């Protein structure tokens, strides 16, 4: 195998070609995939696509070496984040070396640089006739939720001999990272009763009540830090809890009608955020009862509240659950509000309530004979996923109509 110095010029040439493709996640990556396929064909490397549901994007899997267990998977994503609104002084899709010794372009680091290095090594890998395989696994739509990788992983797991190692070339300052914490995000909205600040007996400040809740979260964050596992490989070692957004109040002399804040919990493996937050949830429920007992006229948050999307969906699921035979909730497995929608559907009487991440997760056999199907999504689910699921149902309906037409003929 060549040295890094010998590999670099070849990799830079390849990187220039990869950067030239605008593979922002909202666009197709097929032009880049076609370029890579042509490159691999030139070196006699077999490859296959793993496309999305409508064929507008695709993963790519290629193998150098024998079809045996062991070896390594070199994995990276082909999409990049947008350049919109950024003050680029060079064309982001033209690889540009500068006097500081660095090379600039969208995706040079995250993560077309790794793809270029992997591809640059292909000629030498082919010539070396390795005893164990080297797999190249390039995915799509990582930047908007790792949408392409699950299908690619499934193909590797079911159709390839088990690899011995997977290297994902994300930028980590050249430090090997073997895992990361999970994240759960929560939004809390407190509704008070407005009154002049001199007449505190006539109202209640949502901000003052929210401060109490945030104080409890701050104390919990300190306890989590003190309970850190000394053997944890993470930095920091403990589960973290931080409040990142805060909004509320109308004026300095008015008891706030509303205050909303958002916090996240990031847990190492083996810890459950919902379990950690059980005392906090109990405190929120007690505060809710106390405020409504004192001021029965306190009503739900306004529709433009930052958590309205969640409460609105729950209310809608409660209404439609008794009228449907199946409910699909689009959302990530670590999304607490998505999982809650499944629970709400089940509690409201829907026989089959299921969380899916994308169209490929739909269990069509389970839906046979359902008749009426409800569809909703977690508040943070990307619109592209909702569209994908709707398109899958449309395609399914078209296929069924064609089959029925054929039978009638």
| Contact predicate 186/243, CB 8 Å | no
Q: Is residue 138 part of a domain?
A: yes
Q: Which residues pair with 114 in a beta bridge?
A: none
pLDDT of residue 368: 79
d(CA 291, CA 297): 10
Residues 208 and 252 in one domain: yes
d(CA 287, CA 189): 12
Domain count, the chain: 3
pTM: 0.60
Per-residue pLDDT of the chain (409 residues; tens, 9 = 90+): 778 888 999 999 999 999 999 999 989 999 999 999 999 999 999 999 999 988 999 999 999 999 999 999 999 999 999 998 899 999 999 999 999 989 999 999 999 999 999 999 999 999 999 999 999 999 999 988 788 999 999 999 999 999 999 999 999 888 888 888 888 889 899 999 999 999 999 999 999 999 999 999 999 999 999 999 999 989 999 999 999 889 888 889 999 999 999 999 999 988 999 999 999 999 999 999 999 999 998 875 554 444 555 667 888 888 888 888 899 999 887 676 788 888 888 888 887 888 998 888 898 888 877 778 999 998 767 778 888 899 888 888 766 555 544 544 4
| Contact predicate 326/366, CB 8 Å | yes
Q: Is residue 59 part of a domain?
A: yes
Query: Minimal CA–CA distance to 198: which of 243, 251, 240?
Result: 251
What are residue 241's phi and psi, to 5 degrees?
Answer: -140, 120
User: Is the sign of the CA dihedral 205, 208, 214, 219 positive or negative?
Assistant: negative
With a CB cutoff of 8 Å and minimum separation 6, the contacts of 113 are 11, 15, 107, 169
Query: Minimal CA–CA distance to 256: which of 188, 187, 193?
Result: 193
Answer with the one of 108, 135, 168 that is the final residue of a domain.
168
Bond from prior residue into 9 cis (ω within 30 degrees of 0): no
pLDDT of residue 305: 45
Residue for token digits 């190249």? 136
**Residue 236 DSSP symbol:** S
Q: Residue 234's Cα: distance from chain center in Å?
A: 21
Bond from prior residue into 111 cis (ω within 30 degrees of 0): yes
Residues 144 and 256 in one domain: no
Residues 156 and 283 in one domain: no
Residues 78 and 145 in one domain: yes
Q: Which residues pair with 356 in a beta bridge?
A: 330
Tokens of 95: 């690889």
Residues 140 and 77 in one domain: yes
Residues 260 and 333 in one domain: no
d(CA 322, CA 339): 19
Query: Minimal CA–CA distance to 342: which of 317, 306, 367, 312?
Result: 317
Answer with the one of 146, 168, 190 that is the final residue of a domain.
168
Q: Residue 210's Cα: distance from chain center in Å?
A: 29
Q: Is residue 331 part of a domain?
A: yes
Burial level of 287, CB count in 10 A (0-12/13-18/19+)?
Answer: middle
Residues 255 and 318 in one domain: no
d(CA 396, CA 208): 52
Q: Is residue 174 part of a domain?
A: no
Residues 244 and 338 in one domain: no
Q: Is residue 119 part of a domain?
A: yes
CATH number at residue 288: 3.30.70.360
Q: Which residues pair with 73 in a beta bridge?
A: 135, 166
**Residue 20 DSSP symbol:** T
Residues 131 and 231 in one domain: no
Residues 100 and 234 in one domain: no
Residues 162 and 187 in one domain: no
Tokens of 355: 């969380």
pLDDT of residue 379: 72
Q: Is residue 258 part of a domain?
A: yes
- Tell how strand 326-330 and strand 373-377 pair up: parallel
Answer with the one of 267, 294, 321 that is the final residue of a domain.
294
Q: Is residue 301 part of a domain?
A: no
Query: Minimal CA–CA distance to 34: which of 12, 16, 60?
Result: 60
Q: 391 lies in which domain range?
A: 308-408
Long-range contacts of 339-344 (CB under 8 A, 24+ apart): 340/310, 340/314, 341/313, 341/314, 341/317, 341/376, 341/378, 344/314, 344/317, 344/318
| Contact predicate 276/265, CB 8 Å | yes
Q: Is residue 109 part of a domain?
A: yes
d(CA 348, CA 334): 22
CATH number at residue 105: 3.40.630.10
pLDDT of residue 125: 96
| Contact predicate 336/382, CB 8 Å | no
Residues 216 and 266 in one domain: yes
Tokens of 38: 């042509």
Output the CA–CA distances (angstroms, integers) from residue 381 to 197, 373, 393, in the order listed: 40, 19, 18
With a CB cutoff of 8 Å and minimum separation 6, the contacts of 97 are 103, 104
Q: How many helices (H) and strands (E) does the chain have?
A: 12, 13
| Contact predicate 95/108, CB 8 Å | yes
């Amino acid at each position: 195998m060549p040295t890094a110095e010998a590999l670099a010029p070849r990799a830079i040439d390849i990187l220039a070609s990869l950067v030239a493709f605008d593979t922002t996640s909202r666009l197709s990556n097929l032009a880049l995939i076609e370029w890579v396929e042509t490159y691999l064909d030139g070196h006699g490397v077999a490859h296959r696509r793993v496309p999305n549901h409508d064929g507008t994007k695709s993963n790519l899997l290629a193998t150098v070496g024998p079809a045996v267990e062991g070896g390594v998977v070199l994995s990276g994503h082909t999409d990049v984040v947008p350049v919109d609104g950024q003050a680029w002084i060079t064309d982001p899709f033209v690889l540009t070396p500068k006097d500081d010794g660095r090379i600039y372009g969208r995706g040079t680091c995250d993560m077309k640089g790794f793809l270029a290095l992997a591809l640059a090594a292909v000629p030498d890998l082919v010539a070396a006739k390795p005893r164990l395989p080297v797999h190249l696994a390039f995915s799509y739509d990582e930047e908007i939720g790792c949408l392409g990788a699950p299908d690619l992983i499934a193909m590797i797991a079911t159709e390839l001999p088990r690899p011995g190692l997977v290297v994902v070339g994300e930028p980590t300052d050249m430090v090997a990272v073997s895992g990361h914490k999970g994240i759960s995000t929560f939004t809390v909205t407190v509704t008070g009763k407005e009154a002049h600040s001199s007449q505190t007996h006539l109202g209640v400040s949502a901000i003052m009540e929210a401060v109490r809740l945030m104080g409890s979260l701050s104390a919990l964050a300190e306890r989590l830090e003190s309970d850190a596992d000394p053997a944890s490989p993470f930095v920091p070692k403990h589960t973290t809890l931080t409040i990142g957004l805060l909004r509320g109040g109308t004026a300095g002399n008015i008891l706030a009608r509303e205050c909303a804040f958002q916090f996240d919990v990031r847990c190492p493996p083996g810890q459950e955020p919902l379990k950690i937050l059980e005392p906090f949830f109990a405190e929120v429920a007690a505060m809710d009862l106390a405020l409504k007992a004192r001021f029965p006229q306190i009503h739900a948050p306004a529709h433009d509240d930052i958590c309205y999307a969640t409460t609105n969906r729950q209310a809608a699921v409660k209404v439609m659950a008794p009228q449907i035979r199946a409910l699909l909730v689009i959302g990530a497995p670590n999304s607490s509000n998505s999982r809650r929608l499944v629970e709400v559907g089940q509690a409201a009487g829907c026989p089959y309530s299921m969380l899916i991440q994308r169209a490929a997760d739909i269990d069509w056999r389970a839906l046979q004979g359902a008749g009426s199907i409800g569809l909703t999504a977690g508040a943070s689910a990307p619109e592209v996923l909702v569209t994908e699921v709707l398109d899958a149902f449309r395609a399914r309906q078209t296929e069924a109509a064609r089959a029925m037409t054929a039978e009638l003929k």
